[in-house]
Structure 1
């Protein structure tokens, strides 16, 4: 099969013929029809994100495809089914504290690297081998819809945050860092899950205005200035009452003060979920007042990715129309254009925009 191979950090992707994946028990082989190219993929491939990857590797975090072959432990899947391939692979020998690797992307520590030795290659290839539990049926679609369904990989990240927060219908919530790819997805998912009001924070005025136009009175935009006290006051002024939850999705370049500005707005017994990149590349950590946390019963929850059942929940949100994939602008590239796709994704980052690779040639148009 053909695949895009990263041989060393800082080198371009090489389009090569590599061996087809071999099926094992507890695994599924999927023909990859479409896979998203993250906006920061160029940073990962350059080594600037500190990703834990053994080289050479076929990168790519999950995708949309069709089942080619499956093991004897799969009782509901069938060859030809359209599926989402979840890159969040968990070790199977410790249900309480599993090691995690993001297949084709990074590992969550030494245990994740051990897991990565087997589930090594990602989705920038015509086929990939995926753990059975990481394959989620999405139902019948037209092949032309596969690129849009790649948005699941982005939407699932904040979905995991809202599930961790126990978001209830009617609540007032804050998405801190709402103008980026994952932040804007956080707004989409919060509205779909029934949040009464979403306060969207960020510095990009045009992106904030776009969110407000898209969702009407369900979203209020707050432009952040970088002055912690003033930003906190603006967030509180935007809320009609108490703020129930803050979901932080700020990128690594943001400061802990930007996280704190939003976190300290939650009501007593409120929740703060941390899913961003602040501090992951070094620098100071997040400081929150001990007395404020204790006396107000604040829950602070760190969340990396999402629980296994989240993918099926997201499929239901999309199928019901609560999440509209047609709102996302998708630019597609063939597998041999992988390096161009990585450059395009970096240059066109932002809300409601997605770059997608199509490893399998799309079917000919019906004339």
Structure 2
């Protein structure tokens, strides 16, 4: 098979011939039709984000494909099925706190590193070996445009955060980082889940206007100034009532003060879910005031990725047209242009922009 390989951090990806993966029991072999290219992929491949990838490695963050081979423990999947391949791999020997690896991308701790050694390569290839439990059938409509459905990878992360925070119909949600690639997905998904109002703060006026135009009065945008007290006051005013929950999806480059200002708008008994990268590259801690947390009974939860059942949930939402994938801007690249795809993704990381690698067209 042909695959794009990261040979070392800081070097361009190299497209080369590799042996076809050999699936074991409990795994399936998938022909990759489309795989998203994250807007920050250049930072990962350049070593800026210090992800625990071990070159040489075929990177990738999940994808859409057709099953080529199934193992003896699969009872409903069939060769030829169109499927979504979830990158979040969990160890099978600890149901309470399983080790986690993001196939072809990252891992957590020593156990996650062991998983990553076994399932080393991701979706930037013609073929990919995937755990059986990480393969999810897609609706027939996805066959018309597999590249567009690769956006599952962007939508499922904030969906996991909304599930973790227990977003309920009619509630007011504040999305910190709403003008970004994942944050804009959070706005769309929250509305699809029945949020009564979504407050969307940000600095990018064009992105804020896009959110307001696309979703109407249920989205309240706020232009941030950098003054923590003023931004908190403006955000609270935009909500026009209590903020039930805040979801943070800001990147590592964002200052902690922005997350703190957004979080401290939540009501008594409010919830704060942290999914972004604030502090990953250094900088100040969040430093939530202890009296504020305690006296207002605030719940603060960190959430890395999402539960396995989120895959089924997000596929159902997208199949129902909420959010509407047809409204997204999708640019595809063949495997030979993988480095052009990485550069394009870095320059087009705004709301509803998708960069997709198309390793095969079968």
Report TM bin, short chain: over 0.9
Q: Say if 2:52 and 2:106, in contact at 8 Å, map to a contact too.
A: yes
Following the alignment from structure 1 to structure 2, what is the Cα–Cα distance between the partners of residues 136 and 227? 45
Shift in Å at residue 218 of structure 1? Answer: 1.1
1:225-240 counterparts in 2 under 5 A? 225-240=225-240
Q: For residues 148-187 of structure 1, what are the structure 2 equivalents within 5 Å?
A: 148-187=148-187
Query: Which residue of structure 1 aligns with residue 2 of structure 2?
Result: 2
Q: What are the residue-to-residue correspondences of 1:6-155 with 2, within 5 Å?
A: 6-141=6-141, 143-155=143-155
Cα distance in 1 for partners of 2:239, 2:346 equals 34
Q: How does 1:241-280 map to 2 (within 5 A)?
A: 241-280=241-280
Give the Å deviation of 1:143.
4.2
SS of match in other structure, 2:345 = helix
Worse overlay, 110-119 or 57-66: 110-119
Measured after TM superposition, the shift of residue 299 of structure 1 is 0.4
2:234 and 2:80 map into 1 onto residues whose CA distance is 51
- Checking the alignment, whether the CA contact within 8 Å between 1:91 and 1:100 is kept in structure 2 is yes
Retained in 2: the 8 A contact 1:256–1:286?
yes
SS in 1 for 2:168: coil
Instruction: Work out the CA distance in 2 between the residues paired with 1:177 and 1:225.
Output: 14
Q: CA deviation at 1:266?
A: 0.5
1:117-148 superposed Cα distances (whole Å, 9 cap, x missing partner): 11100000001001111111112236441000
TM-score, length-normalised on structure 2?
0.98
What whole-Å deviation, never above 9, does each CA across 1:190-214 have from its counterpart, x for those lacking one? 0011000000011001100110010
Matches within 5 A, 1:335-346: 335-346=335-346
Farther off after superposition, 33-42 or 142-151: 142-151
How much is the aligned-residue C-alpha RMSD, in angstroms?
Answer: 0.9
Cα drift, residue 347 of structure 1: 1.4
Q: Is the 8 A contact 1:34 1:356 kept in 2?
A: yes
Native 8 Å contact 2:249 2:276 kept in 1: yes
The 1-side partners of 2:64 and 2:348 are apart by 22
Q: Deviations over 1:43-96 (max 9, x none)?
A: 100100111011110000100001111111111111111111110111111111
State the alpha-carbon separation in 1 of the partners of residues 226 and 73 from structure 2: 53
What's the counterpart of residue 357 of structure 2? 357
Conservation of the 8 A alpha-carbon contact between 1:64 and 1:82: yes
CA distance in 2, matches of 1:80, 1:140: 12
Structure 1: unaligned runs, 5 residues or longer: none
CA distance in 2, matches of 1:144, 1:40: 28
Verify the 8 A CA contact 2:28 2:67 in the aligned structure 1: yes
Alpha carbons 1:81, 1:139 under 8 Å: kept: no
Aligned residue pair count: 362
- Between 342-351 and 268-277, the greater mean CA deviation after superposition: 342-351
Of the structure 1 ranges 117-126 and 275-284, higher mean CA displacement relative to structure 2 is found in 275-284
The 4+ residue runs of structure 1 with deviation greater than 2 A are 141-144
Contact 2:256–2:283 (Cα < 8 Å) also in 1: no
> Residues 266 and 10 (structure 1 numbering): CA distance in 2 closer, same or farther, change over 3 Å?
same
Q: Which residue of 2 aligns with 1:330?
A: 330
Contact 2:82 2:143 in 1 (8 A): no
Matches of 1:116 and 1:321 in 2, distance apart? 34
Deviation at 1:292, TM superposition (A): 1.2
Q: Would the aligned equivalents of 2:142 and 2:149 in 1 still touch at CA under 8 Å? A: no
Seen in structure 2, the aligned counterparts of structure 1 residues 128 and 233 have a Cα distance that, compared at 3 Å, is same
Describe the shift of the 1:233–1:142 C-alpha distance in structure 2 as closer, same or farther (beyond 3 A): closer
1:243-286 CA distance string (max 9 Å, x none): 10000111111111101101001011110000010001122211
* Counterpart in the other structure of 2:318: 318
CA distance 1:142–1:157, shift in 2 (3 Å) = closer
Secondary structure (helix, strand or coil) at the match of 1:10 reads coil
Q: TM-score, normalised by structure 1?
A: 0.97
